[in-house]
Amino acid sequence: MSGKDQVRGRQIAAARALLGMGQGELAAAANVSIPTLRRMEASEGLATGMANNIAAVRRALEAAGVVFIAENGGGAGVRMAKPDGSAA
């Protein structure tokens, strides 16, 4: 998995909550099962699962307007993208 695709389980859960999206809705958008998504969100540290499934969940959340924030010494996180679609 490339550095860009690395995402923490808690980031997935936080992003979903930020969007007000249920697990079923995100699972459907990412084409993964709800139990698969639950396992990812419950992961301590980096999300566990098949790399293609983690990437699909990340893409679905990004398409819905979430930006993933890298660790960068301040802690990994998520935020909403600017209305113009930019991350900054």
DSSP 8-state code for residue 10 = H
For 1-48, write each residue's pLDDT tens digit. 445 558 999 999 999 999 999 999 999 999 999 999 999 999 999 999
| Rounded-to-integer distance, Cα 35 and Cα 68, Å | 22
Q: Domain for residue 27, yes or no?
A: yes
| Residue 46, phi then psi, degrees to nearest 5 | -60, 145
Q: What local confidence, expressed as pLDDT, does residue 25 receive?
A: 97
State which amino acid sits at residue 36.
T
CATH code at 65? 1.10.260.40
Q: Domain for residue 88, yes or no?
A: no
**Structure token pair of residue 64:** 């819905």
Q: Where are the alpha helices (DSSP H) in the chain?
A: 9-19, 23-30, 34-42, 51-63
Domain of residue 68: give its range: 3-80
pTM of the model: 0.86
